[in-house]
């Protein structure tokens, strides 16, 4: 059987383990797996003595299947872990552009809407709050507000293509933040 087949065969048993019984490995998984495979080979000549001493031999027979399942699980976990680390790196690199665009739009909108109290109130409401999630929502809110008032924005020479950029950036950064912060 392949490791993937071993994993599929053992998945129900793995998922049935209560969370309070799940333990963090105290040694590298690859070294542990090699020790398991070596142990299986070493105990075969002593099967009669070990079973006579009370060892349930089905446990020994099940070890290669369990080792294959663990090897597959470790590979799957590594894929997710490195994907998350890459997303965290990208978030760190790309999120400042989101904050900068939000701040630029807020400043621009306050100037463009300076003669309309209702629009200024909307801009102030959007500017409230903080944090990553708020910045992402602000970008989308500003894009919608700006698209509804392009006449006032173009009157001050504002490049309205930045509104589409804000909406796109909000969506892309939201996906990146989600991937970067998903629970390990």
Residues 90 and 63 in one domain: no
Residues 71 and 131 in one domain: no
Residues 26 and 112 in one domain: no
**What mean pLDDT comes out for the span 123-151?**
96
pLDDT in tens, 3-59: 889 889 989 998 999 989 988 889 888 888 899 899 989 999 999 999 999 999 999
- pLDDT for position 184: 40
Residues 151 and 169 in one domain: yes
C-alpha to C-alpha distance for 157 and 124, rounded to whole angstroms: 22
Residues 79 and 90 in one domain: no
Retrieve residue 36's tokens. 């398991």
Residues 55 and 66 in one domain: yes
Residues 79 and 160 in one domain: no
| Residue range(s) defining the domain that contains residue 130 | 86-181
- pLDDT for position 29: 86
pLDDT in tens, 86-120: 888 999 999 999 999 999 999 999 999 999 999 99
Is 29 exposed, middle or buried (CB count within 10 Å of its CB: 0-12, 13-18, 19+)?
middle
Residues 132 and 80 in one domain: no
Question: Domain end: 54, 85, 116, which one?
Answer: 85
Residues 91 and 143 in one domain: yes
Residues 176 and 97 in one domain: yes
Q: Quick check: 139 and 98 in contact, CB under 8 A?
A: yes
C-alpha to C-alpha distance for 13 and 22, rounded to whole angstroms: 12
Residues 73 and 57 in one domain: yes
- SS3 state at 27: coil
- Domains in the chain: how many in total? 2
- pLDDT for position 178: 87
- SS3 state at 128: coil
Q: Where are the alpha helices (DSSP H) in 16-149?
A: 29-43, 47-52, 57-112, 117-127, 132-147
Would the pLDDT of 81 be above 80?
A: no
Residues 172 and 135 in one domain: yes
């Amino acid at each position: 059987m392949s490791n993937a087949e071993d994993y599929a065969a053992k998945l129900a048993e793995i998922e049935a383990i209560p969370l309070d019984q799940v333990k963090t490995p105290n040694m590298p998984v690859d070294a542990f797996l090699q020790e398991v495979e070596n142990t299986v080979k070493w105990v075969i000549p002593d099967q009669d003595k070990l079973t006579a001493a009370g060892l349930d031999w089905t446990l020994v027979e099940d070890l290669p299947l369990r080792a294959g399942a663990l090897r597959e699980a470790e590979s799957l976990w590594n894929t997710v872990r490195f994907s998350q680390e890459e997303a965290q790196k990208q978030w760190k690199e790309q999120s400042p552009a989101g904050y900068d665009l939000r701040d630029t739009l807020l400043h621009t909108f306050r100037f463009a809407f300076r003669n309309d109290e209702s629009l200024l109130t909307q801009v102030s409401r959007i500017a409230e709050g903080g944090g990553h999630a708020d910045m992402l929502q602000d970008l989308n809110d500003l894009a919608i507000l700006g698209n509804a008032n392009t006449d006032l924005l173009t009157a001050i020479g504002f490049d309205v293509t930045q509104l589409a950029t804000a909406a796109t950036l909000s969506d892309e950064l939201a996906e990146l933040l989600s991937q970067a912060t998903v629970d390990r």
